[in-house]
């Protein structure tokens, strides 16, 4: 399948650059762009993260793929055309050239929480070896590349480097973006928006800290240019998108009559809330159902605590109880009760008006119960240290500050602890960006290990005796349950 073998409109011009060419981007931002009233004017050039595989497969299809919307009573199929270029994330030259183009108006991100490389205080983790390596590389590269002057005029052609930038590219997502934004500055192409679509609290601030922080460390002039010319847009994103299997590839061929190596399966529901400025323009995403607001924090917390928090609770407690998917865990009365308990706590710490929380909770139960969406708990459980820092810790701290037990949020953290302990005891790998810290904590004597694990999440929590005692007791309960089932 490609644009010469499938009947479709001509490819739209590239005006959006995306980092993180995964299934979620293709089910969410690419879908909203295609469904926008002016979507035919907004093509996406998408880059992978750590591996080139998705780009290789999608490039062979000229960016085309099939979106399978899997409802409780059947599937629908849509040919997606909004991605017009697919690139290996390591091709920083292509990234620099596209971001430097004056026709490019915005950059969207789905790079995962861990890829921002932020410290616990929300600032760039300059002690991270990958971050430090990029700082060193970019200082050397930018020193050889004259920048535009303060008025935004590009240097003379004789001294300006190739639009693709230096031959050697940065390794981290933020490093690659700093390199690309430096190319835009040199080209004099003007302001641009960066739109984080990752499950992070205050994801606009996280993107600013990662990209702006790295630029500041590399070159003060570039850092100042980014501060004055790059708008960081915050979002709350929502669409359950499990991994594609061979069954979906075979299904598309049987139902649609063409071979598609890269279909995406998702649920019918989608939601996108955005907050921020787009100095170079944007698609009419509102016509596709996106909502633009002046303040986004409450919408972010609703999503992070209610949807993502419940997902993490099921990921750890559900697997400990022998379940493999979200639908299976939800059908377990114990897991259902724990979700309800956690949701009650989270709701107490959200505004009573404007978020429609009761209806949101009811919709989540219906979505979670869709057994035709095989959302695997092992996939959700990855990178728990980053996720729980936003999904559980704020709720527990708020409940304790209000003089309540916070047992629902503490149970979520306890399930994570019990899950890690089981993995450590069995020698199973821990799929987490902080795996080395977690393994070191788990190797400590019993009296020290729990505080060390909590310290990875939040220093204040690790120093709170009440919180430590609550998590300890609940984790012991999970361990007792495992012993009885052995």
Percent helix, strand, coil in the chain, to 5, is: 50, 15, 35
Alpha helical stretches, state H, 230-308? 246-256, 297-301
CA distances from 205 to 103, 280, 419, 473 (A): 25, 20, 31, 35
Phi/psi of residue 148, nearest 5 degrees: -65, 155
Residue range 155-191, pLDDT digits in tens: 443 333 333 344 478 999 999 999 999 999 999 999 9
Give this prediction's pTM.
0.88
Short-list 231, 236, 128, CA closest to 175: 128
Token pair for residue 464?
Answer: 């709170």
Q: Give the separation between CA 181 and CA 122, rounded to whole angstroms.
A: 22
Short-list 471, 374, 466, CA closest to 421: 471
- Confidence (pLDDT) at 168: 77
- Confidence (pLDDT) at 146: 57
Residues 445-468: b if buried by 16+ CB within 10 A, e if exposed: eeeebbbbbbbbbbeebbebeebb
What's 208's DSSP letter?
A: I
Instruction: Determine the angle formed by the axes of helices 407-426 and 333-348, rounding to 10 degrees.
Output: 130
- Confidence (pLDDT) at 447: 81
- Confidence (pLDDT) at 170: 94
Residue 69 host element (H or E)? strand 65-71
Q: Give the separation between CA 470 and CA 454, rounded to whole angstroms.
A: 12
Q: Strand 83-87 vs strand 43-47: parallel, antiparallel, or unpaired?
A: parallel
Phi/psi of residue 484, nearest 5 degrees: -70, -30
Alpha helical stretches, state H, 188-234? 203-207, 213-218, 220-229
Residue range 63-112, pLDDT digits in tens: 999 999 999 889 999 999 999 999 999 999 999 999 999 999 999 999 99
Contact 483, 422 (CB under 8 A): no
* Per-residue pLDDT in tens (0 to 9) along the chain, 486 residues: 999 899 898 999 999 999 999 999 999 999 999 999 999 999 999 999 888 999 999 999 999 999 999 998 899 999 999 999 999 999 999 999 999 999 999 999 999 988 999 987 889 999 999 999 999 999 998 877 655 544 444 444 333 333 334 447 899 999 999 999 999 999 999 999 999 999 888 999 999 999 999 999 999 999 999 999 999 999 999 999 988 999 999 999 999 999 999 999 999 999 999 999 999 999 999 999 999 999 999 999 999 999 999 999 999 999 999 999 999 999 999 999 999 999 999 999 999 898 999 999 999 999 999 999 989 999 999 999 999 999 999 999 999 999 999 999 999 999 999 999 999 999 999 999 999 999 999 999 988 999 999 999 999 999 999 999 999 999 999 988 765 554
Q: Give the separation between CA 473 and CA 67, rounded to whole angstroms.
A: 45
- Confidence (pLDDT) at 483: 52
């Amino acid at each position: 399948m490609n644009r010469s073998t499938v009947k479709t409109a001509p490819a739209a011009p590239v005006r959006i650059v995306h980092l993180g060419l995964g299934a979620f981007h293709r089910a969410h931002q690419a879908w909203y762009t295609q469904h926008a009233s002016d979507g035919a004017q907004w093509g996406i050039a998408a880059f992978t993260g750590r591996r080139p595989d998705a780009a290789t497969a999608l490039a062979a299809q000229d960016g085309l793929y099939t979106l399978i919307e899997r409802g409780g009573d059947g599937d629908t199929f849509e040919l997606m055309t909004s991605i017009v270029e697919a690139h290996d994330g390591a091709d920083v030259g292509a990234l620099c050239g596209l971001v430097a183009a004056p026709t490019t108006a915005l950059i969207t991100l789905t790079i995962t929480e861990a890829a921002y490389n932020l410290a616990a205080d929300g600032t760039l983790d300059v002690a991270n070896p990958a971050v430090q390596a990029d700082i060193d590389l970019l200082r050397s590269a930018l020193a050889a590349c004259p920048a535009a002057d303060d008025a935004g005029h590009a240097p003379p052609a004789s001294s300006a480097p190739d639009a693709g930038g230096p031959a050697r590219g940065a390794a981290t997502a933020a490093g690659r973006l700093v390199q690309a934004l430096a190319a835009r500055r040199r080209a004099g192409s003007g302001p641009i928006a960066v739109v984080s679509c990752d499950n992070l609290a205050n994801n606009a601030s996280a993107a600013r800290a990662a990209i702006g922080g790295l630029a500041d460390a590399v070159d003060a002039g570039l850092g100042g240019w980014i501060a004055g010319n790059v708008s960081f847009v915050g979002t709350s994103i929502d669409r359950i998108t499990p991994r594609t299997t061979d069954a979906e590839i075979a299904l598309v061929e049987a139902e649609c009559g063409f071979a598609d190596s890269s279909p995406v399966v998702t649920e019918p529901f989608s939601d996108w809330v955005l907050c921020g400025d787009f100095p170079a323009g944007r698609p009419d995403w509102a016509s596709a159902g996106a909502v633009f607001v002046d303040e986004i924090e409450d919408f972010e917390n609703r999503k992070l605590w209610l949807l993502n928090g419940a997902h993490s609770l099921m990921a750890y407690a559900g697997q400990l109880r022998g379940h493999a998917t979200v639908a299976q865990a939800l059908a377990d009365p114990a897991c259902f009760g724990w979700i309800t308990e956690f949701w009650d706590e989270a709701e107490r710490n959200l505004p009573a008006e404007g978020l429609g929380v009761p209806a949101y909770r009811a919709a989540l139960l219906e979505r979670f119960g869709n057994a035709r969406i095989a959302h695997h708990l092992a996939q959700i459980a990855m990178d728990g240290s980053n996720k729980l820092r936003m999904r559980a810790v704020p709720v527990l701290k708020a409940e304790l500050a209000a003089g309540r037990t916070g047992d629902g949020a503490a149970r979520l953290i306890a399930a994570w602890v019990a899950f890690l302990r089981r993995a450590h005891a069995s020698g199973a790998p821990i799929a987490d960006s902080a795996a080395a810290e977690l393994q070191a904590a788990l190797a400590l004597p019993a009296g020290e290990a729990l505080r060390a694990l909590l310290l990875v999440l939040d220093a204040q929590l690790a120093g709170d005796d009440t919180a430590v005692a609550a998590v300890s007791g609940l984790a012991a309960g999970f361990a007792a349950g495992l012993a009885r089932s052995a």
